Amino acid sequence: MDIASYLRSHRIGLSDILAKVDESVALQPDEVLFAAGSIVEGLGDTKSDLDLFLLTSRSDIALSSLNCLALLVGDCLIDIRVLLHAELDALLHRFAGWAAEPRQPRHALGFTYEERKVLHRLWSGMALHGEDRFTALRQRLKGENLARHKLDCARFMASTFQIDLAGLYGAGDALSMPFVAQELLGHTADALLARYGLTNPNPKWRVRQLGNVPEAWRGELPGRPPELSAVRTFAQLHRAPEDESLDGAFAHAARIVAFSRAIFPSVECKLLGPPGTMVPQLPVAPCGAAAEAVLPVLDFDVQVSYQDGRFELWRLNDPAVAFALSPLAYSLLCLCDGRTSRMAALEQAARQAGPELAQGTVDELLRVIRYGRLEVAGPIDEDALGVILRSAAS
């Protein structure tokens, strides 16, 4: 629902809202009032509140609660967040400083969730009062920087959950693994949304926003292209496994990690790489003949990133050892699921790059996986380990 439909459903207009706010706070010439939030972005419904922001230098406004003023216009509840000009100016200055630094995803967490919402709402809002000043403030932001910030927040958090999954699987914690995997899936969705400039940081709008991802997203991913839309792919991966065994938890988590490994580097390539950079797709059938050798399954904490014009592969727990990947090698890596046959992957790569280069790329990738010990290891049998340790102690 857009703001025009929302206002019609409540039988009010923007002029009614502006008049009520002016009556309550006596708007000043140097102040800015703008609408933002779910209604302005077309995400809300008739039950949603209308969110307004008042930028002011005054400290004498009678607030309904901390930094907020609540008003009722007809049957429409309006929340007005009051921000000081100096506070917003300082936030914009800090954000510009972050954007100018060399990329370190961890540094994105230097902004709180509330600060991220303010920046996004300034970028996506619409002015009701003080339009010239609002436009000048918004021009201090860049959409590509907001998208990269959302990507970097998601990248850092996703890395922590990948490490957690490796530890949980090693400990045989089948009950915890699906919950952690679904946290990883949420941050992976944020990365995909950042690719298309959908920078709202509120997790509750992930699914709505995924519905706005264009169908072209399928053609930008490495490895095997997705069959479903972005929102249906997310919903399918989010389903908890019916099998509560460790094998069931592993299969569920492995699918999500593989999806994440395809999303993050490809989004980084699009947002940070030179225009026109392409990663080949390899639409290989997921299963080969029973007797054929298959590509290995990578461990949960194996990471691929795109930075400074190249793809790199490493373990999150051992970042000192990194391997450079060509776009073709990265696409082949995304087929490492323990089911895709090496022969089928090689044949598809040969269609992209010719038999000789394809063979060399497959062989080199498998050597890197073996050398780096990047395949998934079996879980720790804690009962057996306890027996061994008790025997050694006695």
Map out the domains of the chain with their CATH numbers. Answer: 3-100+115-140 (3.30.460.10), 145-371 (no CATH)
Query: What is the gyration radius of the CA atoms in the chain, in angstroms?
Result: 25
- The DSSP bridge partners found for residue 312 are 305, 324
Long-range interactions of 216-219: CB distance < 8 A, separation 24+: 217/192, 219/281
**Is residue 136 predicted with pLDDT exceeding 80?**
yes
Name the amino acid, one letter, at 137. L
pLDDT tops 70 at residue 298: yes
Query: Of the given ranges (82-86, 97-101, 257-261, 320-324), which has the lowest mean pLDDT?
Result: 320-324
- Rounded Cα gap, residues 240 and 248, in angstroms: 10
Secondary structure element (H or E) that encloses residue 353, with its range: helix 342-353
**Residue 154: per-residue pLDDT:** 98
Structure letter (DSSP) for residue 173:
-
| Span 144-199, pLDDT tens digits | 999 999 999 999 999 999 999 999 999 999 999 999 999 999 999 999 999 999 99
> Cα–Cα distance between 5 and 84 in angstroms, integer?
31
Instruction: Give the pLDDT band of residue 131 (cuts 50, 70, 90).
Output: very high
What confidence score (pLDDT) does residue 353 get? 95
Query: Which pLDDT tens digit goes with each residue over 55-87?
Result: 999 988 877 777 888 899 988 989 999 999 999
The share of the chain scoring above pLDDT 90, in percent, equals: 82
**pLDDT at residue number 59:** 86
State phi, psi for 84 to the nearest 5 degrees.
-80, 140
Residue 382: pLDDT above 70? no
Query: Under a CB-based contact definition with an 8 Å cutoff, are residues 31 and 129 in contact?
Result: yes
Distance CA 41, CA 208 (A): 11
Mean pLDDT of the chain: 92
127 pLDDT above the threshold of 50:
yes
Q: How many CA atoms lie within 13 A of 369 on its CB side?
A: 21
Alpha-carbon distance of 73 to 65, in angstroms, equals: 18
Fill in the amino acid letter for 335. L
Instruction: Give the Cα separation of 312 and 323 in Å (integer).
Output: 5
Tell me the one-letter amino acid at 268: E
What is the mean pLDDT of the segment spanning 327-349? 95
pTM for the model: 0.92
pLDDT in tens, 197-252: 999 999 999 999 999 999 999 999 999 999 999 999 999 999 999 999 999 999 99
Residue 385 is predicted with a pLDDT of 43
Question: What are 287's two structure tokens?
Answer: 């299963």
User: pLDDT higher for 44 or 33?
Assistant: 33
Q: Where are the beta strands (DSSP E) in the chain?
A: 32-36, 50-56, 68-73, 76-84, 126-129, 302-307, 310-315, 318-325
Q: Work out the percent of the chain whose per-residue pLDDT is above 70.
A: 95
Distance (Å, rounded) from C-alpha 296 to C-alpha 320?
23
Sequence-distant contacts of 213-218: CB under 8 A, at least 24 apart: 217/192
Tens digits of residue pLDDT in 254-292: 999 999 999 999 999 999 999 888 899 999 987 766 668
Are 241 and 249 within 8 A, CB to CB?
yes
pLDDT band at 370 (very low <50, low <70, confident <90, very high): very high
**pLDDT confidence band for 389 (50 / 70 / 90):** very low
Q: What was the pLDDT predicted at 210?
A: 97
